[in-house]
Amino acid sequence: MTRAVGVDIGGTKIAAGLVSESGEILDSAAEPTPDDSTKIPAIVADLVGRLVGDEDVAGIGIGAAGFVGEDRATVRFAPNIDWREEPLAAHVRALVDLPVVVENDANAAAWGEFRFGAGEDTDDLLLVTVGTGIGGGIVHQGQLFRGGFGVAAEIGHMRIVPDGILCGCGQHGCFEQYASGSALVRDARERVSNGDDSATAIAALADGDLSRITGPAITTLAQQGDPLAVELLTDVGRWIGEGVAVLATILDPSVIAIGGGVAAAGDLLLDPVIEAFAIHLPARAHRPEAALRLAALGNQAGLIGAADLARVEPA
């Protein structure tokens, strides 16, 4: 059995896992992400060393948020780490005697879901990751779609509201400003700040400190039946449904999987996604319709997918 190491480099944590050919995480380790980005390759090398030992592994797959070049080795830009044209694969390869492949984290997650999760029964998958922002990954005819320059599927910055809310990318009206965990939290805090009578439970959560209002806390309240929390999740779900209806007209996937932290809300999120998708999909009565599902691998999708890419698409 050929094993591989998957690494997920996030803004706060670097997680690594030894992954089997069947997508099972056999062992794992993690370290905080340092403020000094030059220390990251050494941390990755240390994690790999802990996991590999005397194991025979195919290589290392690294998932990182940001633009990854077509060489699958260079991080052109990362929003949460000080990387610009960072030769990440070369830096790790200099410390570890194994092949190294670098991939965008959402692409890696899409590949993990395609191989071992919500997309196992299809050759065409769109993964939408709903967290602080929105990420995406596309598998087309059994291949990961990276685009001409390696930076395809940045769906969070699809403009859906002309002259809408200012996004961190500098544009107005981006998808993730309406359909993300950040949008959920922003709207909840606004309702509390405005003294909305329906925001009693969320206000109690804050207890005078709006920073205590988080996505997971709102989800918990919704699962407990709080009407406003349910309404806010429904609004996010509707925006997701509208956005993926647009994407479906372009990509025509057979499966659309919804993942990321906000997807922990389950059917409270998925049901309004499905409803809005059905309303806004053009010519719905005259076309096959994608199946909408929750992603299956949770927060491990990127790590599992990165490891598998190191095995099936080696450097």
Average pLDDT over all residues of the chain: 95
In this structure, the answer to whether residues 172 and 235 fall within a common structural domain is: yes
In this structure, the answer to whether residues 306 and 291 fall within a common structural domain is: no
CA distance 128 to 156: 9
Q: What is the pLDDT of residues 130-142, one digit of tens each?
A: 998 999 999 999 9
Q: How open is the CA angle 104-220-13, to the nearest 5 degrees?
A: 30
Q: Please name which of 17, 21, 106 lies closest in space to residue 58, comparing C-alpha atoms.
A: 21
In this structure, the answer to whether residues 87 and 175 fall within a common structural domain is: no
In this structure, the answer to whether residues 157 and 107 fall within a common structural domain is: no
CA distance 16 to 31: 9
Q: What is the pLDDT of residues 166-204, one digit of tens each?
A: 998 899 999 999 999 999 999 999 999 999 999 999 999
Q: What is the CATH number of the domain that holds 35?
A: 3.30.420.40
Domain count, the chain: 2
Residue 1 has what pLDDT?
A: 63
| 116 within a domain of the structure (yes/no) | no
| 291 within a domain of the structure (yes/no) | yes
Q: What is the pLDDT of residues 232-274, one digit of tens each?
A: 999 999 999 999 999 999 999 999 999 999 999 999 999 999 9
Q: Which residues of 184-209 are buried (b: 16+ CB within 10 A; e: fewer)?
A: bbbbbbebbeeeeeebebbbebbeee
Using CA atoms, how far residue 71 sits from 67, 94, 113, 153, 298, in Å, is 11, 17, 23, 17, 28
* Averaged pLDDT for residues 283-312: 95
* Averaged pLDDT for residues 208-221: 95
In this structure, the answer to whether residues 100 and 129 fall within a common structural domain is: no
Residue 306 has what pLDDT?
A: 98
- Domain of residue 44 covers 3-111+300-312
